[in-house]
Amino acid sequence: MREIIFDTETTGFDPQNGDRMVEIGCIEMIDRVATDNIYHCYYNPQRNMPAKAQEVHGLSEKFLLEKPLFSEKAHELVEFIQDSDLVAHNASFDFGFLNAELIRCELPPIAMDRMVDTLAIAKKLHPGAKLSLDALCSRYGIDRSHRIKHGALLDAELLAQLYIELTGGRQIGLGLANSRDGKSDIKKYHEVQKSESKPLRKARHFKILAAEREQHEKFMATIENPVWLS
């Protein structure tokens, strides 16, 4: 199964009110394993960059002035995405901007049934918790120390790791699809196990909030005659 993990940077919050996409970063994932196939591009938004937006991603008008227009790279992006599902955090925001740019180029928008929203997944797993990308990376022990400002490709890389955690962790061995080098995931898994240079993955330490602990204790108290007390 091929999926595209992606993130965007923009000039603001509303593509219907003149805001534009200025960066996109995409990572190919096959059977929940990220490949080395990525797509990354900056775009000239043909408008000013609000100071608050620049504070978030650090992309200035001067930097973007010499970048291509979205219309000049649109077919390249569509070719990379193909018919794969697209995974994003708060996906309706990124889909809104991506589709607005595609429509502006008179290209078909991405169907919403191809949208996978990691924010929605996280809400079901951790109700009441902080669900920003930063907060979830902290919860799952994903290193983001190199992240000074938001960046589409960097955030997509973090999201790819988070997506694996939210969907049950890396379960290698269930898929038989071959990757670009012709090796199945199972063969790669056994090669990794035999490699002496591959460090063992450290155990994950989850941070449990006081409110979550209280909610769990209330739920446990509703269970009648639990087997662990028999």
Task: Clarify whether 150 is annotated catalytic.
Answer: yes
Query: And the tokens for 123?
Result: 């809400």
Cα of 116 vs its chain's centroid, Å? 10
Distance of alpha carbon 142 from alpha carbon 161, whole angstroms: 7
The CA radius of gyration of the chain, in Å to the nearest whole number, is 20
**Active-site choice (126, 150, 190, 216):** 150
Handedness of CA 137, 39, 89, 165 (dihedral sign): negative
Contact at 8 Å (CB) between 8 and 24? yes
Closest CA to 117 of 158, 159, 89, 84: 89
Strand pairing category for 21-30 and 33-42: antiparallel
Output the CA torsion 189→191→195→197 (10° steps). -60
The answer to whether 171 touches 186, Cβ cutoff 8 Å, is no
Q: Give me the active site residues, please.
A: 150
